[in-house]
Structure 1
Amino acid sequence: MKMKAQRVLMFVDNIFEDMELLYPYYRLIEEGADVIVAGPKADCIYTGKNGYPFRSTAAIADQRAADFDLLVVAGGFAPDQLRRDPKVLELTREIFEAGKIVAHICHGGWIPISAGIMKGFNCTSTPGIKDDLINAGATWVNEEVVVDRNQISSRKPDDLPAFCRTIIEAATESN
């Protein structure tokens, strides 16, 4: 249990990428992390883009960045909705500015873009938001996982094993 006593924040809203939420959620729990999945409302069922339901464990508005060791942002189209919430951007920025890990996969990069934390970072994502990342000041590369300081990024569900391994290794080193 490499992540015992670590607290992880994830966000959820409708049209999340099912695998990109569920795979890290269960993998990090398996490593001993306490994973909080916050949505616009607590104890509310959100539906993934492939139809899988997920019940939020908390409300975004009730979260404090200081309570978490890292943030993992799943993709799908939920990040486009979530990035319009000032609290999501505040949490993302505060976790990042505290030097804690911010990990994002696929379209999840939309949240760090809107939080204004991508400038000067190397990263990857789905090619669909490549231009958004570049316009935000990042350098985009087509690799399964990219680590640059306290950011970890991946492209798509096929990259989830490498993405989760890298998050666990980085969290273990920072603990």
Structure 2
Amino acid sequence: MSNTRRLSGRNIAALAADGFEKVELVVPLRALQLAGANVDIVSLRRGRIRGVNLHMPASRVGVDKLVTEADPDAYDGLLLPGGFINPDLLRQSAAARDFVRAFDHSGKPIVTLCHGPWVLASAGLLKGRTLTSWPGIRDDLVNAGATWLDREVVRDRNLVTSRGPQDMRAFLPAMLDIFAEPTSQQQTVPDHDGSDPSLDKPLGWAMAALRWSPKPSATALTSVVAAALTPPLRRHLSIRA
């Protein structure tokens, strides 16, 4: 099978609600489709859910299935985008928490970034796990029992996490790698002496970006995907000591 279509026949669920960070859903979605995967947008309501670009409203995406109707057994993996609002809504839904738990209990891959791990915390899945996230929710994840690392990508068994859009070039190859593997091929991170410390101040680029009204075009989003999937960027992304 061509490496560019190595996810042909794989079915992926993208669990998202209103307030998803647009780049964190649209760019991975396009990368999965280019790799041959079938992707369903699973959500809390029917219709079209609204994305955001940081704090600004963005375009909508259509929902394929309600989370109360979607069968986790029908999917090979789960994508959880971030954004401030999206994971906050999902973590309050018992059906969404159950949906996420089903993937983890089956050992199926879960990939998430930014604030997405909030949902994993509320689903009770982080005790003893090692991951990364948007730095602002580091304490939430540590308090949920996780070890938090300030890395662009962290792989812990069936879980791949990333800090946010700034790490998309590393996140996309790691996502495709884990979705392409048999479930039995699980990798772990080496032991670490506790979590990395909290940041001393918010990320400068994020603070500056909040002064803008970003509206990335479809061309810009496609360029991010293309850049992230170029061969020089492909590498083994499991964290090493």
After TM superposition, the score normalised by the length of structure 2 is 0.70
Q: CA deviation at 1:164?
A: 1.5
Q: Which protein has the bigger helix share?
A: 1
RMSD: 1.1
Counterpart in the other structure of 2:59: 52
Counterpart in the other structure of 2:44: 40
Q: Distance in 2 between matches of 1:67 and 1:127?
A: 33
Between the aligned residues of both structures, percent identity stands at 33
Runs of 4+ with deviation above 6 angstroms: none
List per-residue Cα deviations over 1:121-170 (Å, max 9, x = no partner): 11000011101100011000011100001100000112122112111111
After TM superposition, the score normalised by the length of structure 1 is 0.96
Work out whether 1:69 is the aligned partner of 2:76.
yes
Q: Distance in 2 between matches of 1:45 and 1:171?
A: 26
List per-residue Cα deviations over 1:27-55 (Å, max 9, x = no partner): 1011111101111123x111112212111
Q: Distance in 2 between matches of 1:25 and 1:141?
A: 25
How many residues were matched structurally? 174
Work out whether 1:112 is the aligned partner of 2:120.
yes
5+ unaligned residues in a row in structure 1: which ranges? none
Q: Distance in 2 between matches of 1:80 and 1:174?
A: 31
Q: CA deviation at 1:9?
A: 0.7
Larger Rg: 2
Counterpart in the other structure of 2:12: 8
Counterpart in the other structure of 1:161: 169
5+ unaligned residues in a row in structure 2: which ranges? 184-241
What is the SS of the residue equivalent to 2:160? strand
Work out whether 1:172 is the aligned partner of 2:176.
no
